[in-house]
Amino acid sequence: MRPGILIQHNSTPQRARALVRCDIAGLIGFVFRSRWPAEATAGDFIQIPLRRWEELSAHPQHDLVDPVTRRAVRSFFENGGDELHVFVACVEDESALHGAGLAEGVLAPLFERLRVEEDIALLAVPVLAYMRCEVSRLGRVSWRGEALVDELLAHCRQMNNRFLVLDAPRGLHGELLGRWFEEFRARDPGTRSWGAVYYPFLMAGDECFPPSGAMLGVYARMERERQPTGIAWPPANVTVRGATHTEVEMDWSEVGAVGELGINPLLVAPGRGVVVWGARTMSTDPTFTFINSRRIVSMVGEQLRRDNEWAVFEPNETGLWKIVERDVLARLEQLWNAGLLSGARALEEYSVECNGSTNPLVVRDRGELHVAVKLKPVGATEQILIDLRLGAPGA
């Protein structure tokens, strides 16, 4: 080396990321005014991260967790869950949860925290199952938990890689259950693929409880037993642990009728215990009828977003487009090899386009980078377009 010459070695930035986890769950509960901590106000909340059921009782604020949510925590870990976040929000009383606009109102701090915790992929609110149902003179069935569920589903759609596990309202059976569900899922079809409903309640001896906590654990167990891409398997035809039977025992014709509605039935199978006998979302769109199809697309979209966040502040020109297109194709090939995407050969059922046509001047002037990804999840019947928008507000 000659004097006066400095040699510096610049390494290429490391852009590789681990696969997005889809087994981390969140449970939401509520504490009413009579049990608020000192100096608490409406909308305040606590967050309790857990890795084992026993950790809940050791937490200094465990007494704020209501019995229904506490039971759901136990069910989650009994069924193979590994990581859970429990949120408990302060509200005046149950009536505070009935109206619309909760995500911008009293529950705004909670929703903001949920947006920050982007690794949470599964969500449930088991206490909602106990809210009242009413039947009008015209036979319309309304449930007081509907408004909050609508906002949670919209939130899951916004977060993309988040899925709501919902309990059928307690007390609804047969024709009334079908009438409620048909109207409920028609209210906002655009969000219904981000959630699934389970029926009926579970029993452990004489104890009765909503199934959502156990189902969060089942989802997580399926994911963990088939790492790293367990979401390719639907959470169905598996035994629910910690349950001896169901509140309502159905024969096969009743199970079929509930499944045809789009609700996932839980049944007692001889020699197996309680079994999950359905894997349907609430969507009427054939593309996202099944939970694994919805969650594969959500996971892939989130994976590609995180993989390519580095590109937001790069010059939006031909060189960047080629690099992003190459990187996205490499990730899709990895997912195809793992069995998440259809196709007998690489590139047969997926493609990527990042060029001047996806990034015209008007897009570049907004500071955005658009990538068009077409793919076909395993088990799906047609290709799905993921419009990946990097740098876009809310992306």
Shared-domain flag, residues 145 and 270: yes
Can you give the pLDDT at residue 313? 86
Query: Which residue, 249, 278, 307, sits at the end of a domain?
Result: 278
Positive/negative CA dihedral, 23, 180, 190, 110: negative
Residue 288 lies in a domain: no
pLDDT tens digits for range 21-52: 999 999 999 999 999 998 899 999 999 999 99
| Whole-prediction pTM | 0.92
Mean pLDDT in the chain? 92
pLDDT category, 13, cuts 50, 70, 90? very low
C-alpha to C-alpha distance for 283 and 176, rounded to whole angstroms:
19
Indicate the pLDDT class of residue 361, thresholds 50, 70 and 90: very high
Is the confidence at residue 14, as pLDDT, over 80?
no
> For residue range 113-172, what is the model confidence (pLDDT) as tens digits?
999 999 999 999 999 999 999 988 888 899 999 999 999 999 999 999 999 999 999 999
> Which residues neighbour 38 within 8 Å (Cβ) at sequence distance 6 or greater?
none
In a domain, 13, yes or no: no
Q: Which pLDDT score, from 0 to 100, does residue 127 have?
A: 97
Mean pLDDT of 84-101: 94
Residues 382 and 331 in one domain: yes
Residues 144 and 65 in one domain: yes
Closest CA to 80 of 55, 56, 52: 52
Q: Is residue 12 part of a domain?
A: no
215 and 314 within one domain: no
Same domain, 267 and 315: no
Given this model, what pLDDT does residue 6 score?
Answer: 42
**pLDDT of amino acid 228:** 76
- Give the model confidence (pLDDT) of 67-76 as tens digits: 999 999 999 9
Residues 82 and 185 placed together within one structural domain of the fold: yes
pLDDT score of 173 more than 90: yes
Residue 10, pLDDT score: 39
Domain harbouring 304, CATH code: 3.30.360.90
Percent of the chain with pLDDT over 70: 95
- DSSP 8-state symbol, 290: B
The total of structural domains in the chain comes to: 2
126 and 256 in one domain?
Answer: yes
Question: Is 9 a domain residue?
Answer: no
* Residue 165 included in any domain: yes
Angle between helices 212-225 and 67-78 (to 10 degrees): 20
| 343, β-bridge pairs | none
Q: Residue 210 domain-assigned?
A: yes
Q: pLDDT value at position 24?
A: 97
| Domain harbouring 57, CATH code | 3.40.50.11780
Q: What percent of the chain has pLDDT over 90?
A: 83
Residue 20, domain member (yes or no): no
DSSP secondary structure string for all residues of 78-111: HTT---EEEEEEEESSGGGGSSS-TTTTTTHHHH
Domain extent for 39: 25-225+236-278
